[in-house]
Structure 1
Amino acid sequence: MSRSGSGAAMALLLLSACASAPPAPTPAAATFNPAAMIAAIDHAGVADSRELVVRPLSDGNIAGLKEDLGDLRAPDRLAENARQLDLALDTHPDDAELLQARAENAILQRDLATAERMARRAAAVGAQAGPHCRRHWETVVQVLHANPADGDALAEAEASRDACTVAAPPRY
């Protein structure tokens, strides 16, 4: 082999040793952490003392249902709570609090499609400002982070979440 041929072979060998296959994308299931998602949603729902807080009107029947369900996040009751929430949504389809509870339940059950659908419905029918609004949109943001999707959809959800924070009117 000529000197230039062996030099080219050596260069090719060095380059192939340096080059490696790009890392495989991490599947959503490997990075999916429902507890962290719920913690972020809870944090988004904390009101700042200087912001406008809009509380949705609640139905007394819904309050009773929530008491009957108890801890909506109890791991041993997730399926039963989902069933009960679905039944309640049959009669109260536009209750943002129920929709949000069902979205969070879906996250804990690893059902991201249902979580996003319920959170978007809650955002559409619920408060358009304040911690409840932020909670709905943070749920969508968390689902989009866990299930890599269209970057534009994530940016839209983040902007909607951020738009929920409105300064309270001045008090005189």
Structure 2
Amino acid sequence: MRMMLSPSTLLIASLVSLAACSTMPSLPAPPPVPKVAPEQRLAAAIAASKGADDRELAVQPLRDPQVQDLRDAATAAIAARNYGAAADALNQALLIVPDDPAVLQERAEVALLQTDNERAETLAKRAFELGSKVGPLCRRHWATIEQARLARGLAQDAASAHGQIESCTVAGLNRM
């Protein structure tokens, strides 16, 4: 027994066959995020904090001895590549001085080492809001934000943060 197909059925079948053969042009893949070690990201942030002028004013507040001990413990833990212990020490310090821009910045840098890039950016932004808007620590805040954004593949946002780094630099006084 032979089946007869109507002309409209044949037309639909032909169109479906043609549609299956044609493909939509694929969109280009976004450029891959370069693989950069967290330690390299931190080194870049620290390097950005160095001023071109050694006459630049950098305020160093007096520290609570307990907070300083916790910061020292964090520094030792980072040197041992024990980033969890460093984070714990700095978290304890932040319980004592929650609005200390330097401690917030150090905690942001540990978050960067732990590849917790959103937290690194949040902490560095908070440190900037509470701290001086000029000087080495200001540059370090923005460089950390830049590196956190780069790690997340947000190149345009990272470029914006990079632009802020230069605004933190103020020429030092001429002391004769």
- Asked if 1:96 corresponds to 2:94, the answer is no
Give secondary structure in 1 for the equivalent of 2:169: coil
Match of residue 174 from structure 2 = 170
Give secondary structure in 1 for the equivalent of 2:82: helix
Mapped partners of 1:50, 1:66: distance in 2: 25
Match of residue 35 from structure 2 = 31
Q: Deviations over 1:64-104 (max 9, x none)?
A: 22223342424542112212211211221111111111111
Aligned match for 2:47, one of 43, 46, 64: 43
Residues 82 and 105 of structure 1 are in contact (CA less than 8 Å); yes or no, is this contact kept in structure 2? yes
Structure whose CA Rg is larger = 2
Give secondary structure in 1 for the equivalent of 2:162: helix
Give secondary structure in 1 for the equivalent of 2:76: coil
Deviation at 1:120, TM superposition (A): 0.7
Give, as a single letter, the amino acid of the residue that structure 2 aligns with 1:89: L
Give, as a single letter, the amino acid of the residue that structure 1 aligns with 2:128: A
Mapped partners of 2:147, 2:124: distance in 1: 11
Match of residue 153 from structure 2 = 148
TM-score (norm. length: structure 2): 0.73
Number of residues of Structure 1 aligned to a counterpart in Structure 2: 152
- Counterparts of 1:6-17 in structure 2, within 5 Å, are none
Residues 95 and 125 of structure 1 are in contact (CA less than 8 Å); yes or no, is this contact kept in structure 2? yes
Structure 2: gaps of 5 or more residues: 1-24
Mapped partners of 2:162, 2:124: distance in 1: 13
Deviation at 1:45, TM superposition (A): 1.9
Report which stretch shifted further, 49-58 or 111-120.
Answer: 49-58
Deviation at 1:51, TM superposition (A): 4.9
Residues 72 and 101 of structure 1 are in contact (CA less than 8 Å); yes or no, is this contact kept in structure 2? no
Match of residue 14 from structure 1 = none
Percent identical: 32
Deviation at 1:32, TM superposition (A): 4.0
Aligned match for 2:70, one of 40, 65, 72: 65
* TM-aligned CA distance change 1:37 to 1:166, over 3 Å: same
Q: Deviations over 1:125-170 (max 9, x none)?
A: 122211111011100011111212372x434322321101111123
Give, as a single letter, the amino acid of the residue that structure 1 aligns with 2:174: P
